[in-house]
A and B are shown apart, each in its own frame.
Chain A
Amino acid sequence: MNPDFDDPQLESEIDRQLKDLPELIAPRSLVPRTMQLIAQLAAVWQSRSWSTWPMSIRAAFIVVSVALLAATVPGLRAFEQNLLVPMFAKLNHWGASSEWIWNAATALASAGTAIVNHASKGIIFSCVLAIVLAYAACIGFGTVFVKLALSDAKKN
């Protein structure tokens, strides 16, 4: 050691002054922000891959999965007998009685054909034109409103 560096009096005085310093007060935000981060980290374990889950949660997951599987096998038979079989029987019954839907659709189509045959071409053309214009207006206004909304969002 360079003897010029030895100044015991200076060293002891600096030592005394520095050791006399009180603890600084931590910012008030330290505890809340750390606790918030801890809560966030604790909350996201389920969104990470299974291998990185906490060991206790992985063990619990395996136990619950096995229990669910064990309960499912006998439960499936009861489910089939008590729910699926009656449900399919009802569906077959509805299928047989669904003829009225086809009849109603056929009647509506016939009515439409009769209107077209008896109405003048001018009225039909006007109706088609009104429908096309309404559709175009919907698309146009929709595009304008979406662009306005996006431009406001970008400004904000």
Chain B
Amino acid sequence: MTDAATFEAFMRNYQNMVFSTSMRLTGNIAEAEDISQEVFLKAYERFDDLRENPRAPGWLKTVAINLSLNHLSRHRSRWTLFTDFFRPEDNPDISEPEFAAPENIEEDLARSERQQWVEAALRKLPDAQRVPLVLYHIEGLKYEEIAAKLGVSLGKVKTDIFRARDTLRKKLVPQLKKDWMGHV
């Protein structure tokens, strides 16, 4: 295989992971695609190091996170100013991303439907809530690491994550109360 063909195979292998990371952080398909492209351009520059490296997925994920955060802080600057003024209908990107099909065809449809509700609710969160929530629950970062990455105080990170959980709960309970959170 040529270098280009090898890199294309590498890219196809990791494109969903990179796209999911940037999509969940930016909440916008077009921006996530641009960021994913940038991630793979950087990967191409270091492909000699990455092609056989077991740490390549981790490297790609870290770069995707950092580029997404750079993009958000550079183009939106909503972290501190717009937290309380965000309206979900302001989000200009109304198209929905595609979901990976369940591995087992007979896997219950309720789960797939629930995942779509969660994904949609996540996308409607304001940046200031969605980003720390994704970094904490999906990317597995600690509060301190999130605060350092976002350049905000630890207290703000905790507050935003709490608000995000609460917002998610309010959005999801009407649809999901049969499945979960019977206590609410």
Contact = CB atoms under 8 A, between A and B. Distances in A.
B121 to A, nearest CB: 9
Interface string A35-77: 1011101000000000000000000000000000000000000
Contact of B37 (A20, A25, A30): A30
B29 interface: yes
Contact of B16 (A7, A23, A41): A23
A25 B12 contact: no
A26 B37 contact: no
B118 A21 contact: yes
Contact of A35 (B8, B133, B162, B180): B8
Given A17-B118, A24-B100, A2 B158 contact: yes
A26 B36 contact: yes
Contacts of A150: none
A13 B137 CA distance: 11
B19 to A, nearest CB: 4
B183 A9 contact: yes
B156 to A, nearest CB: 12
A1 interface: yes
Interface of B is mostly: helix
Interface string A8-19: 011101110111
A9 B15 CA distance: 34
A38 B169 CA distance: 43
A138 interface: no
A122 interface: no
Nearest to B163: A5
Interface residues of A, number: 31
Contact of B40 (A10, A34, A39): A34
Given A25-B98, A37-B41, A38-B44, A13 B16 contact: no
Contacts of A13: 180-181
Nearest to A14: B165
Residue among A1, A17, A27, A37 with max Cβ neighbours from chain B (10 Å):
A17
Interface string B127-138: 000000110011
29 contacts: A2-B158, A2-B159, A13-B180, A13-B181, A17-B172, A18-B122, A18-B138, A21-B119, A22-B102, A24-B20, A24-B98, A25-B16, A25-B98, A25-B99, A25-B100, A26-B16, A26-B18, A26-B19, A26-B33, A27-B29, A30-B15, A31-B8, A31-B11, A31-B12, A33-B37, A35-B8, A38-B7, A38-B41, A38-B44
Q: Which 5 interchain pairs have the tightest Cβ spacing?
A: A26-B19, A26-B15, A25-B98, A18-B137, A5-B162
Interface of A: 1-2, 5, 7, 9-11, 13-15, 17-27, 29-31, 33-35, 37-39, 41
